[in-house]
């Protein structure tokens, strides 16, 4: 039996993790009593008495919680942005490499990948790693997400009966090109430059479709670049249970990719679309699944020595 403390269990990520874990008979969830939610002494007790501390907090609060941990045996899984590129933390996307997977088995500090970042990195990392695309390629990325990714504030804005009329249509944000996921998107993918990133939020609860376009004339390659990229993804992800590359050319799509098609699931689908002149690389998943809570539980399962899909909906 593993003792798990979810620090920030009332937020969207924490609630999804709690809902997944409460159904398991190998997990004992440690919870803060309602009247102790803001008591630092009681919180510190929980952080130091658990086997796994799952942090579902804003960045500053996550750093504060890590600083409270004195028990060297406590393993931390942080879903915030705070530690994703920090030395000593393993980036929580197990499928990136065998090395990453093996590190997860022994590490005590995991930083779960961000939702937009998960989609971008899943598409770009294997191509830069293989050398088929250079690390200075001028990457761009468009990511369409449900409003749950904005947390309680955004959820209330979208569900308010008197909401602003603008919420009826998709909204582009991070217009300054300063989105918090850009740092990990660049660092983990080992890019020379940050991509131009266009995140778009729309009027549905959860789901995400991340698209990276590729102009083939900018790539030195002999033969079909589309086929070569598809083969790289198939080789990279084909054996991983949470990565679906079975229909990589999208024969099941009927001409459309819907960003909420994976809502409620903890896996990710990868598509290679377009033609030999202009490609569209697309990852589709739930921003609260493989983009947050599901990924956190997957990492925890690996750390526990269990099947990585335990308790997940794939």
Pair 284, 208: CB distance under 8 Å: yes
Per-residue DSSP letters for 43-55? HHHHHHH-SEEEE
Nearest to 63 by CA among 40, 83, 42: 83
Pair 202, 144: CB distance under 8 Å: yes
Nearest to 4 by CA among 25, 21, 23: 21
Q: What is the pLDDT of residue 33?
A: 77
Domains in the chain and their CATH numbers? 2-113+292-304 (3.40.50.720), 115-287 (3.30.360.10)
Residues classed as catalytic: 115
Q: What is the pLDDT of residue 139?
A: 98
Proportion of the chain above pLDDT 70, given as a percent: 100
Q: What is the pLDDT of residue 146?
A: 94
Strand-pair category, 171-172 with 196-202: antiparallel
- Give me the half-sphere count of Cα atoms (radius 13 Å) on the Cβ side of residue 23: 10
Q: What is the pLDDT of residue 166?
A: 81
Number of Cβ within 10 Å of residue 246's Cβ equals 10
Q: What is the pLDDT of residue 107?
A: 97
Confidence of residue 188 (pLDDT cuts 50, 70, 90): very high
Helix (H, G, I), strand (E, B) or coil at 108: coil
Q: What is the mean pLDDT of the chain?
A: 94
Pair 287, 70: CB distance under 8 Å: no
- Mean pLDDT over 194-201 rounds to 97
- Mean pLDDT over 270-295 rounds to 96
Q: What is the pLDDT of residue 149?
A: 84
Say yes or no to pLDDT of 271 above 80: yes
**Which residue do the tokens 């990520």 mark?**
13
Chain segment 205-221, per-residue pLDDT in tens = 999 999 999 999 999 99
């Amino acid at each position: 039996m593993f003792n798990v403390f979810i620090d920030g269990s009332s937020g969207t990520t924490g609630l999804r993790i709690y809902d997944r874990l409460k159904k398991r008979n190998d997990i004992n969830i440690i919870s803060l009593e309602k009247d102790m939610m803001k008591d630092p002494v009681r919180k510190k007790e929980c952080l130091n008495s658990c086997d796994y501390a799952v942090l579902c907090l804003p960045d500053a609060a996550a750093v504060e919680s890590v600083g409270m941990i004195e028990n060297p045996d406590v393993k931390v899984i942080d879903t915030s942005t705070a530690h994703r590129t920090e030395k000593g933390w393993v980036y929580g996307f197990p499928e990136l490499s065998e090395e990453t997977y093996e590190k997860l088995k022994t590490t005590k500090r995991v930083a779960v990948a961000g939702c937009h970042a998960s989609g971008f990195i899943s598409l770009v990392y294997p191509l830069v790693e293989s050398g088929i695309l250079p690390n200075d390629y001028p990457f761009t990325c468009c990511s369409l997400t449900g409003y749950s990714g904005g947390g309680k504030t955004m959820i209330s804005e979208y569900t308010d009966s008197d909401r602003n009329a603008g919420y009826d249509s998709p909204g582009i944000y991070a217009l300054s090109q300063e989105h918090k996921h850009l740092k990990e998107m660049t660092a983990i993918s080992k890019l020379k430059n940050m991509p131009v990133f266009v995140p778009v939020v729309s009027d549905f609860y959860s789901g995400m479709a991340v698209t990276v376009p590729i102009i083939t004339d900018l790539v030195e390659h002999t033969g079909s670049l589309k086929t070569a990229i598809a083969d790289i993804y198939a080789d990279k992800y084909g054996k991983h249970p949470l990565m679906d590359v079975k229909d990589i050319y999208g024969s099941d799509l009927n001409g459309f990719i819907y960003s909420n098609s994976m809502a409620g699931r903890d896996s990710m689908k990868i598509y290679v679309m377009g033609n030999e002149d202009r490609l569209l690389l697309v990852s589709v998943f739930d921003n609260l699944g493989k983009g947050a809570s599901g990924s956190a539980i997957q990492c925890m399962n690996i750390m526990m020595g269990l099947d990585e899909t335990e308790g997940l909906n794939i």
